[in-house]
Homo-oligomer: A and B are copies of this chain.
């Protein structure tokens, strides 16, 4: 089922193998410690009171009754949070206004979304804390709310923040608007090019707010000592960025805060922002006890950061031979209640797979009375590319071209420029398209029953670089350890240990990987952006090479030969030189390692890298066969294949797992997931029964084909894997439904009632039902 298209010229010993992961047993036996497992004898539980209104002025908060309850130790409101100014700062989440950072975790004078934290309680047990939170009396003046970003751009729309900081807008003045960011990328002469087009498709698309849906909710336990030192135990995608966000809100130096990243039960971008950590810290400071907070599932939906709903217009022109000539798009993205720059990311992706010398895209980030949106796996790309890929499929259909052939004709290659000006290094898009076209799935005939069809789509993600650190140390028996600051979400312990093992000539199980807290290794950015095996892997590689350089010296010292005469080959150090005869026996790393104590002491090395330069983009091509039930509107996925260039697959099992996981999330986005709001802007489907994610009954086995076109920017060719696979499923399923039913919905999710309605509106429902029965 799983296939791999690999460059076999590199003779790796460890890379590309599938060893058992180091953290496997702890995870399957339940010994792994997640944030919720943190517990102290004198620990208090916190609970957060959240706004029931999507937009309201907070007129007064009366905590007296709650505070009087026995066992309630402290109650805090926005007034108890550190006072920060309007200074703008850059964080991993983009441009941030410091005041907004604080008010996001505890409201100021307004509640900006349903679920906005209003007050927090610390009490002796969890249920008491919740009861006390409910006993807090808040007087609100309810204000009109706006949820949809298109509505929010209307002149008479309620203003979410009122006056927007000029700094955020990059302008000299301040103005009253919900539009916080507007980005245009353009190349060539778009209008002129459209006049040469022989076929033009221009369409509008809608997508709904969706949530990452990680199984483990946000959690944080904080201990704020009287000497000013704070420790935070939390499930986060990055201990260091979490520390930076928390320290910025608490206004203390980083040296006073230690973040211990616990094991994490899914993040997908949603566990980058800081929500509970500063609240737990302020409650701990107030009480002298460790304070623990855990979100409920409703909290997660209403108060963490989902992905933007969007309204997207795409216009594409082509020649009759299939050559694309021009594109023009407008992307309107829901931003939630604080400034964001997610629409621009969508704009960076929308045209990237294609040679388009004349292209323009305008991206609009819009404030709404919803929680500030956050990253969600290839943030902003799925929505934009869904729109583009639907238009392309329609063009291919109109031109009666094979949709993948059509894309291959227009595919970008090394040296081509993206609309945002970036130039591609060596990429594997064409190889990926070819692998898809050569796949068993694509070569077999499409399903031909009634309401059955095959869809395809392409996905692009640029992947991230950012900063990472690692320490590699030899043990005195020649085994080694690898320390990184990268939280292990998708198998990083295994992949990073394998990189060190490959360099050092050890087996994967001879290298012991660990995830360090913020006291124990150099600064490392989030596990996200598909960057960990690439960027932290680069740091591990650099540190391991430094260790190996010292091992060369030790071998030379032991043999009393010049270091230039020591070579490493086939897992062992050899003497190849003129200074001595050939009677020097090779030493494996294990053997040499055991002699370190006597040749100058132990060996260790650290490396910190900024990996922005060597980033290699990832392309995916997906194929889905579906069958639509025209009576119920339910779509069944008959077969699904995902093909992706990952550069080099360090541990192919985890690469396949990432691809399969991304596809399943994309299917949820395509078919079922959406935030539903009532007429006052309040989300109503705040649980997994009403917010419908795919289960194992909803998806077939996802077939994967790994394509390996090594990234020249990484010593072992790694590109990054995790995000690209969520991008194509939206278009793939959409195009499959279009081919199966003849109807293009252009609106997600394509849930059963929407499909039925669309079929009825198009007047094809009765005919399809008749054919199916």
Residues 19-49 (chain A) with a chain B CB within 8 angstroms: 20, 22, 24-26, 29, 31
- B255, A602: Cβ atoms under 8 Å? no
Query: A256 contacts which chain B residues (CB < 8 A)?
Result: 509, 512
Query: A522 contacts which chain B residues (CB < 8 A)?
Result: 471, 473-474, 602-604
Whose C-beta in chain B lies nearest to the C-beta of A223?
B31
A771 within 8 A of B: no
A177 within 8 A of B: no
A511 within 8 A of B: yes
A523 within 8 A of B: yes
A684 within 8 A of B: no
- A229, B467: Cβ atoms under 8 Å? no
- B606, A601: Cβ atoms under 8 Å? no
**A581-601 to B contact mask, C-beta < 8 Å, 1/0:** 000000000000000110011
Min CB gap A248→B, angstroms:
9
- A244, B25: Cβ atoms under 8 Å? no
- B607, A601: Cβ atoms under 8 Å? no
Min CB gap A95→B, angstroms:
15
A130 within 8 A of B: no
Min CB gap A507→B, angstroms:
9
Query: A721 contacts which chain B residues (CB < 8 A)?
Result: none
Query: A225 contacts which chain B residues (CB < 8 A)?
Result: 25-26, 29, 31
CA gap between A510 and B607 in the complex, in Å:
22
A469 within 8 A of B: yes
Query: A517 contacts which chain B residues (CB < 8 A)?
Result: 514
With A20-B227, A597-B467, A601-B467 in contact, do A519 and B25 touch (Cβ < 8 Å)?
A: no
Min CB gap A615→B, angstroms:
14
Please give the count of copies of this chain that the complex contains: 2
Whose C-beta in chain B lies nearest to the C-beta of A473?
B522
- A477, B254: Cβ atoms under 8 Å? yes
CA gap between A479 and B475 in the complex, in Å:
30
Min CB gap A659→B, angstroms:
26
Residues 200-235 (chain A) with a chain B CB within 8 angstroms: 223, 225-227, 229
- A227, B467: Cβ atoms under 8 Å? no
Whose C-beta in chain B lies nearest to the C-beta of A593?
B254
Whose C-beta in chain B lies nearest to the C-beta of A241?
B476
- Residue with the greatest number of chain B CB neighbours at <10 A, chosen from A480, A512, A606, A611: A606
CA gap between A511 and B517 in the complex, in Å:
15
- A244, B476: Cβ atoms under 8 Å? yes
CA gap between A151 and B26 in the complex, in Å:
54
Whose C-beta in chain B lies nearest to the C-beta of A601?
B610
Min CB gap A398→B, angstroms:
49
Query: A223 contacts which chain B residues (CB < 8 A)?
Result: 31
Whose C-beta in chain B lies nearest to the C-beta of A26?
B225
A520 within 8 A of B: yes
A498 within 8 A of B: no
**A444-486 to B contact mask, C-beta < 8 Å, 1/0:** 0000000000000000000000010101011111011101000
A253 within 8 A of B: yes
Among B24, B469, B479, B605, the residue within 8 A (CB) of A254 is B479
CA gap between A348 and B236 in the complex, in Å:
55
Whose C-beta in chain B lies nearest to the C-beta of A590?
B253
Query: A605 contacts which chain B residues (CB < 8 A)?
Result: 606
- B467, A521: Cβ atoms under 8 Å? no
With A223-B31, A471-B471, A520-B514 in contact, do A255 and B601 touch (Cβ < 8 Å)?
A: no
A73 within 8 A of B: no
- B609, A601: Cβ atoms under 8 Å? yes
Min CB gap A143→B, angstroms:
38
A608 within 8 A of B: yes
- A481, B519: Cβ atoms under 8 Å? yes
- B255, A509: Cβ atoms under 8 Å? yes
CA gap between A596 and B607 in the complex, in Å:
14
Min CB gap A114→B, angstroms:
35
CA gap between A244 and B607 in the complex, in Å:
26
Query: A739 contacts which chain B residues (CB < 8 A)?
Result: none
A746 within 8 A of B: no
Among B26, B258, B521, B602, the residue within 8 A (CB) of A523 is B602
Among B22, B474, B514, B521, the residue within 8 A (CB) of A471 is B521
- B512, A255: Cβ atoms under 8 Å? yes
Whose C-beta in chain B lies nearest to the C-beta of A248?
B477
Among B480, B483, B523, B609, the residue within 8 A (CB) of A255 is B480
Among B226, B523, B603, the residue within 8 A (CB) of A604 is B523
Min CB gap A718→B, angstroms:
18
Whose C-beta in chain B lies nearest to the C-beta of A543?
B606
Query: A607 contacts which chain B residues (CB < 8 A)?
Result: 604
CA gap between A483 and B226 in the complex, in Å:
24
CA gap between A250 and B159 in the complex, in Å:
68
Rank and list the top 10 A-B pairs by shortest CB-CB distance, nearest first: A601-B610, A522-B604, A255-B479, A523-B602, A473-B522, A606-B606, A254-B475, A514-B519, A602-B608, A467-B601
